[in-house]
């Protein structure tokens, strides 16, 4: 692949950071948005700590998902946009619009800027939350053809935000894209090595296990994918003609019970993982607790349910081969504590 001029939105984020690292390693010219240029030195420092090479090929511009300013400058002379930035707030929130509006309106701002600047393609980081939430329990294998049922059980503001943002993106391309291509990525729970000090996304599960904030675990099953593989899928889709107009579900095998994730961490880290829970909270107690704790309510519909997923399309079309979930879990844990066994 010849070097591309790539805009990555939300450069201080978890997935975006790994996209930037891999893009630079492969010789691409990268521009990234952050909400304030006052944060550029910190963002660069985190990337350097994660092994960034060719830092001279990385630049930053200020742009916010809620404002028009900065997006024309960000997209100027860009070949491909990786739109990764989006609020990540699973569970209960005080105001759903705090999550939904930036996700949907920000996505439309990025698409307009990319189209107006003459970019060829936008690769949007959507999520499994736009695929599998709100469905009844069954043996169904989720694929890219599935969409979250917005008024179904267990759909939180984050699930709504990812679904509405992706729907809006496809509608924009159909009505106003004027030749702009769109590809969307739908990763399941993303874990892996932290970039910088912030812990985000599904890495919070690992953090809460390590620091004792989760003394017991609910009977939940989580499908896991490594952040490095999520980033590689984005880059595989940069110029591949077969990726245009497609959704790709990024998953890896069966969903893991939270207690199994804890066992993986304990086996890898020994004494450093002594606070990782070993017990599962009975379902009836989770249901009772959910009556009084809004943060517990999203768990109830999926208690004991392991969602099945297929990554056949990403493998077949992109040639994508993900790591085993254990690698993502152990990498996340070791990056948080700085030690491993």
Helix axes 203-210, 258-269, angle to 10 degrees: 60
Pairing verdict, β 80-83 and 5-8? parallel
Catalytic member of 39, 160, 162, 197: 162
Calpha distance 178→217 (Å, rounded)? 49
Active site residue 162: yes
257 close to 218: Cβ distance less than 8 angstroms: no
Pairing verdict, β 247-250 and 181-187? parallel
Calpha distance 304→287 (Å, rounded)? 12
Long-range contacts for 215-218 (Cβ within 8 Å, ≥24 apart)? 215/277, 215/279, 216/277, 216/279, 216/280, 216/281, 217/258, 217/259, 217/262, 217/277, 217/279, 217/280, 217/281, 218/258, 218/280, 218/281, 218/283, 218/286, 218/296, 218/299, 218/303
Helix axes 97-117, 157-176, angle to 10 degrees: 20
Q: What is the 3-state secondary structure (H, E, C) of 33-56?
A: EECCHHHHHHHHHHHHHCCCCCHH
Calpha distance 187→279 (Å, rounded)? 28
- For residue 292, the surrounding DSSP H or E stretch is helix 283-292
Q: What is the 3-state secondary structure (H, E, C) of 149-184?
A: CCCCCCCCHHHHHHHHHHHHHHHHHHHHCCCCEEEE
Calpha distance 159→153 (Å, rounded)? 11
Pairing verdict, β 58-62 and 29-34? parallel
Calpha distance 179→171 (Å, rounded)? 13
Q: Which residues are catalytic?
A: 162
């Amino acid at each position: 692949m010849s070097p591309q001029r790539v805009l990555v939105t939300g450069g201080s984020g978890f997935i975006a950071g790994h996209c930037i690292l891999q893009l630079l390693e492969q010789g691409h010219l990268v521009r990234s948005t952050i909400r304030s240029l006052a944060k550029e030195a910190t963002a660069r420092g985190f990337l350097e700590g994660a092994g960034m090479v060719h830092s001279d090929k990385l630049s930053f511009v200020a742009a916010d998902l809620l404002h028009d300013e900065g997006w024309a400058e960000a997209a100027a002379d860009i070949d491909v946009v990786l739109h990764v930035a989006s609020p990540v707030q699973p569970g209960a929130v005080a105001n759903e619009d705090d999550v939904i509006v930036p996700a949907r309106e920000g996505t439309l701002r990025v698409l307009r800027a990319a189209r107006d600047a003459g970019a060829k393609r936008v690769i949007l980081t959507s999520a499994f939350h736009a695929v599998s939430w709100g469905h009844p329990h069954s043996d169904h294998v989720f694929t890219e053809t599935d969409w979250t049922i917005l008024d179904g059980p267990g759909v939180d503001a984050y699930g709504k935000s990812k679904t509405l943002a992706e729907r809006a993106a496809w509608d924009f391309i159909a009505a106003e894209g004027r030749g702009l291509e769109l590809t969307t990525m739908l990763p399941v729970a993303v874990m892996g090595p932290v970039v910088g000090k912030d812990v985000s996304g599904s890495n919070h599960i690992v953090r809460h296990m390590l620091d004792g904030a989760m003394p017991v675990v609910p009977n939940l099953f989580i499908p896991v994918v490594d952040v490095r593989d999520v980033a590689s899928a984005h880059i595989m889709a940069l110029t591949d003609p077969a990726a245009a107009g497609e959704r790709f579900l990024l998953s890896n095998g069966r969903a893991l019970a939270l207690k199994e994730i804890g066992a993986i961490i304990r086996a890898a880290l020994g004494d450093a993982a002594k606070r990782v829970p070993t017990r599962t909270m009975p379902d009836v107690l989770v249901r009772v607790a959910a009556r009084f704790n809004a943060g517990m309510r999203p768990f109830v519909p999926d208690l004991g349910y392991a969602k099945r997923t297929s990554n056949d399309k990403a493998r077949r079309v992109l040639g994508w081969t993900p790591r085993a979930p254990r690698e993502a879990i152990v990498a996340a844990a070791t990056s948080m504590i700085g030690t491993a066994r």
